[in-house]
Amino acid sequence: MYLVISEKPSVAQAIAKVLGAYKKEDGYLSGRDCVVSWCLGHLAEYAMPEAYDDKYQKWRFEDLPIIPDTWKLEVAKDKKPQFSTLKKLLKQGDIDYVVNACDAGREGELIFKRVYDLSGSRLPVKRLWISSMEDEAILEGFANLKSGEEYKNLADASVCRAQADWLIGMNASRAYTKTYDYRLTVGRVQTPTLAMLVQRGDEIAHFQKKQYFLAHVMKDGLDAVSEHLDSRDAAEQITATCNRRDAEVTAVKREAKSVAPPKLYDLTTLQREANRLFGYTAKQTLEYAQSLYEKKLLTYPRTDSQYLTGDMADTAKAMITMVQKLLPFVPEASFQMDVSRLLNSKKVSDHHAIIPTAEIAKLEADSLSAAECNILYLVANRLLCAAAPKHRYISVKAELICSGYLFTASGRTVTDQGWKLYEEALKKYLRADDDKDNVEDAQTLPDLEKGQVLKGVMSKLTEHFTQPPKPYTEDSLLAAMERAGSSEMEDDVERKGLGTPATRASIIEKLISSKYAVRKKKQILATEAGSKMIALMPEYLKSAQMTADWENRLLAMERGQTTEEAFMADIYSLIERMLSDCMMLPTEERQRFSGEKESRGIGRCPVCGSPVYEGKSNYYCSDRGCSFALWKENRYLSSMKKTLDKKMASELLGKGRTHAKDFYSGKTGKNFEADLILEVSEDGKTSFKMEFPEGNSRKQKK
């Protein structure tokens, strides 16, 4: 008897069906010789600092650094029943071994390891490593299970990544919050990513646009332009001189060019394309691709490879034939497909590129959401594009002289659509809005020959301005994260940049949820709070280069090329350096937010004296270790159809009481006026009572 643990219930059900485990139990499925159960994503997470020592409930700089001797894991309250089921199964006497069937990657390894370690199990571990949820792939995976020990390096890297994020997040956030007496959130990857957003915002804000002018001469569909002219007068003189004059073609250069087919999708390129065409966020695209994977229609999405392994030529050919027959947007094509360029085992690490599976032959379009269809069609079409011939065209550049002035024109004539035949067909079918810039002027020029004279050309002047850098979109930000730090890395380093394909979406979402960044249509912009935070950070905490280097060291750990001890030693050194730098900051720097905090505060905490600020649903004490809060909606006031507004809260903090005339009485059905009085215990618990005008001694107390 063996136990299989997957990452999600839907995956467990697919595996159980293949293994014949049909009997539904409480939290698992059972069969003749196996039991299949599941996690609910991350069942267990590292405990918060206060779980190690009560003193960490208060944020104090002198208590830093917080570095656990033994790391504690905690299970979320709503996930405890499923963890109890897994723990019971892992301790069950008739189970001979457990199969880790969590997603085949670093995060899947971490999810399983935490549950396994927390359960105290000593069962032998085997690893299921598959890139598709098709029945055949699952069966083949179980026929080739490997020892969990073979993935020890991957597990070590997953643990180091999680511990590094915890250590920097907890220590840096507390250190800078207490140093500046201003709430700040620091992250190992999110802070350098935010720094890129802030830098781009600064470049746009400080951009000095420059005006320039172009003179044009036009004839029979030809539009040739002058060089950039700084002076309108000069441009007007040229246009006036050339109007209705003859122009001679002095040079024509024709050059055959081609555009190579794109590579297959890895997760990042799929997220970028989906954002550009449909406006999907990286998180949404990952969710849609994961859903298609679990429905057996796509291979594993969390991949960083754009190639297939060398033994997948037949699979690729079969999928190309199937896609050409099944999908409605695919046009007829006369060229031959070449799968050889899709194959490169050396560039496939954990998983090959994302492609459709044979299950698309059974696809019923109405079984998918519109977004899932879009993602599936993108992936299927990319397979065709990647195997199709090059897009070929003739580039033409011409020079003309008119009244002594030089004009140039460029254009191109397509000679073979190649892979763009599929790209254009899909965009037309999906009515997708591609905002990608054209890299070359696509106008078609009339036939021109050197020495040809164009009689009586027309002229005109146009006004232009230099353009600032564009704000980041999810597409361009993902690209920037992927490229970050790559300029100083070796050419053969496979993973470059901030985060991994699997984590970049969550980093962007964290920046937005923490209000350091905001989405504005497709754009992602740093907020004022984000800009202020980055202004405080030392270069090493916002350095894309250093953080990208850490990601590559984690990859080296997976390959057994470095140790977890060496990686974590550098993390500890970084924290010590950060604390030392904080202590050396001058007093005036530490007080840079003091005026702003006072202006934002609505009063002082009656328990600890710290400023109290307004939140979305309450008025909270700025000292994270203090539990005092006034809730805008509370049980006492809701019975009187009253919420606590900012003015009332400020008066309660300042005078201990506030007066209102619109309390509602359920008994009389009328409004009444009274003083609301606040009472606070030493531990921060609040209660209210009322005093009525004109000597009425009746009181209501919570």
Instruction: Supply the residues annotated as catalytic.
Output: 300
Q: Which position has the token pair 């037309």? A: 428
For the record, the structure tokens of 594 come out as 């003091």
Q: Which residues pair with 409 in a beta bridge?
A: 398
Query: Which of 352, 387, 386, 383 minimizes the C-alpha distance to 132?
Result: 352
Pair of tokens at residue 87 = 């723990």
Q: What is the 3-state secondary structure (H, E, C) of 348-386?
A: CCCCCCECECHHHHHCCHHHCCHHHHHHHHHHHHHHHHH
The 10 Å Cβ neighbour count of residue 527 is 19
Calpha distance 480→194 (Å, rounded): 12
Three-state SS at 398? strand
Secondary structure of residue 176 in the 3-state scheme: helix
Token digits of residue 425 = 């067909």
Residue type, 309: T
User: Quick count: other Cβ atoms within 10 Å of Cβ 329?
Assistant: 15
Contact by Cβ (8 Å): 151, 159: no
Q: What are phi and psi of 374, to 5 degrees?
A: -60, -45
Residues 6+ apart with CB under 8 A from 178: 59, 60, 61
Strands (DSSP E) contained in 560-645 are: 603-604, 611-614, 618-621, 629-631
Is the C-alpha dihedral spanning 593, 510, 193, 68 positive or negative?
Answer: positive
Widest CA span in the chain: 107
Contact 658, 642 (CB under 8 A): no
